[in-house]
Structure formats: C-alpha cells, structure tokens
Amino acid sequence: MNKSRILKNRAILFIIIVGMALTLGTFFVYSSLRAMESTFSPIQIDKMFQKHVFTILLSSFLGIIAFILSKYITKSRHFMNILFIFFMTLLALALAQAPINGTKRWITILGIQIQPSEFMKLFLPLYLSWYYYKIKERKATFVFGIIIPLFIIFLSISLIFLEPDLSSSILIFILAILTIYINGVKNIHFYMTLLILTISGIFIITNADILKGYQKDRLEQFSKIEENYQLRQSLDAITNGGFFGSGSFIGEEKYSVPYSYSDFIIAVIGEEWGKLGILMVITLYFLISRELILMSYHMKNSAARNFMVVFAFWIFFQSFINVGVSIGMLPTTGVTLPLMSYGNSSLLITIVSIGYIMGMVFYEIIDEQTIDEQTKEILENQENKKRVERTDEV
C-alpha cells in the first residue's frame, strides 16, 4: 500500500473518531446544562446550548477555511506573524477587562465570550513549528534555535500568567518546550536550556509567593477531599453511575456538581455512562492522539509534522488532566475536556487546528499522487523507449 493510500485511510479514521467525540460531547453538554437548572434559568440554558452548537458550526466553517489555506499559510512569509500579533493583542485586551471571579481571562466578540489563552495552547506550538520551518538550518545555532523561541514563549506566557491563569501558563510552557525539542534543535543547546529553566523554576517557586489566594485554596482542598465540595459531588456522581451508568440524560448527583458542563463534565459522563463510559472517552482520546502520530510519520512538511505531534500530546495530556481532576488525582485546574466540554475558545481553536492538519494531509496526499503519476509516466516512457530500441534492432 503506497503512502498516499495509508494517509488517506488514517485521515478518514481520524475524522470519524473526532466526529464521534464531538457528537458525544454535544449530548453531554446538553445533559450537563440541563442539570444546572438551580444555577441558570431555562432560557439561559437554552441560549448556552444554542451558543455551543453555533460555536461548533462556526468552528467547522473556519476549519474548512484553514483546510483550504493550510498549504499557503505554512509557506506565507507574513501571515503567521500577523496572527501572532493578533493573538497577543487579544491577550492584552483580556487584561484590560473587568475581572470575572477574580481573573481577567475573557473578552466578548460578536456576542461570543472567548478566552485568548485557550487559543495560545495550540497557536503557539503552530507558530513555533512555522518559525523553525522558515529558518531551516539556522535552528542549529543557539540564538535562532533557543533564544528567539524562548523570547516568544515568555512574552506569551507572561500575559497569561498575569490574568492570572497558572494552569494554562504551565501547560502552554510544556507544549512550547516540547515543540522546540521535536523541531530538531541541537541536543546540547536544548538540554542546557532545560537544566537552566528547571533550576530557575525551582528557585522562583521556593523563594517567591507566586500563587494567588484561590490557587492556594485549590491545593489545600486537594489534600482535604472532604472540604472540596466540587470534587465530592463529582465523585458521588461517578460512584452513582456504577460501571454501566444510569442511562443517557438520567442521574441525580450531577445536579449538584458545579460547572459540570465544562471543567467537570466527566462527572456527567460517569453518572450517565458509568466507568465504562469514562474508559470509552479516554480510549477515543488515545485513538485521536495515536492517529495523529501515525499520520505525522508520513508527512514531509516539517511544520505540519511537528505540529501534529504536539497536537497529539496536547489532546491526550489535557484530557488526562481533566479526568484526573474529576476523580481526585489532581488539584482543580479549570482545564476543559477537548471537543466535549462547553467552551467557545477551546472548541474553536481545536477544530480550526484539525482543519489545518487535515489540509496539510490532503496536500501531502495530492503531492504524493502527483509524484507517483510522474514516476509511473517516466517508467512507461523508459519502457516504450526500450521497446522501440528492440524493434529497431530487429
């Protein structure tokens, strides 16, 4: 089986799995919003669900645009820089907004509330992959390979940290460092930088009071489950679901889980579909990540290939964090479940990123088929030439 056929089959399987995750997520969001009747009015719940569906449709439309333009985006000289300035402006605008629950993370555009830091989780790795694609061999130098990317990373993270959003800052930093590594900088440069950053991080954490009050409370509640109301209700809902669950749109404990439609949607999944449902969801994320990694092996374009690897890591890592928080393995972070939780910004950047990846895969298939056809034509011409030579000899 040639490479284009392998890529095509894997791309189809990937889209099917993503479609399953989005479909299941829509049902879970609807059920969890209905369970918030003590917090929101029926009209508010309907509007929130309609906004969720609208976000999926809008994201799909933008994803199609990203699909069509993906090849040109990668080869463009200035488009990615313009996007970087745009997202940095959004982060700065978020800091100028009135605080919501003590943080400045959201801005409203066209009636839709978005969180710019969610965009940076995937845009920053994409931007860095594009940057390394453009500088080519210069990435072997310390300045172009390490210093400039680190400046870009710290500029982005500093604005997110000031919101404050510690969990997103840490996650984006990890994704950015992973992006630097897989883009093939010199090992000595990378490991030396990683050592310095680790030592600096330990020093700052041990000598500076960088945690906000609510962040300290979350850590304290993590060590004392009996004082963490949100976690206790989540565990009760999952326990009530048993292994096979209570059934779709059925359950009692989910009505008492705060933010079950976003951060703690696993509680809804656990009660309605049971522990089997949670295992199924984890398996879906594993398959999404696996297909991305396997497709990346066949990509010639380094920007697309490396971004696919980081995207795969992000999907599985963020889903692991969300599930870990919901079952008490990790402290509360506010991290959503990719493709399944209610969240305009996360859905938007995830689906658009998938559109970009699928576009690069499509162009890779087309290029490979073109090469195969050209090779076949050359071989046929050579064979015809040999036949003519044999005829002449006769």
User: Contact at 8 Å (CB) between 55 and 40?
Assistant: no
Determine the distance from the C-alpha atom of residue 72 to the mean position of all C-alpha atoms in its chain, rounded to a whole number: 22
The single-letter DSSP state of residue 247 is -
Q: Are 292 and 315 in contact (CB under 8 A)?
A: yes
Run means of pLDDT, 10 residues per run, the chain, 394 residues: 80 94 94 88 91 93 93 85 93 86 79 85 93 91 94 93 85 93 91 91 72 62 68 89 88 87 91 93 94 91 91 93 88 85 90 94 78 55 60 56
Specify the residue for token string 């799995």: 17
Which tokens belong to 143? Answer: 């300045």
**Structure-block tokens of residue 329:** 């393995």
Amino acid 103: pLDDT: 81
Q: What is the pLDDT of residue 49?
A: 94
Is the distance from CB of 126 to CB of 102 less than 8 angstroms?
A: no
Nearest to 295 by CA among 349, 351, 360, 366: 360
Helix (H, G, I), strand (E, B) or coil at 107: strand
User: Residue ranges of the domains in the chain?
Assistant: 3-393
Lookup: tokens for 40: 């929101």
Contacting residues for 134 by C-beta, under 8 A, at least 6 apart: 77
pLDDT of the residue at 249: 85
Strands 112-114 and 107-109: antiparallel
DSSP codes joined into one string, 46-100 = HHHHHHHHHHHHHHHHHHHHHHHHHHHHHH-SSHHHHHHHHHHHHHHHHHTSPPB
Q: In whole angstroms, what separates CA 338 from the centre of its chain?
A: 7
334: alpha, beta or left, given left = phi > 0 and alpha = psi -120 to 50? left
Q: What is the pLDDT of residue 113?
A: 79
pTM: 0.88
pLDDT of residue 211: 62
Backbone φ and ψ of 113, nearest 5°: -85, 120
Provide the 10 A C-beta neighbour count for residue 12: 11
State CA 332 to chain mean position distance. Answer: 19
pLDDT at residue number 391: 59
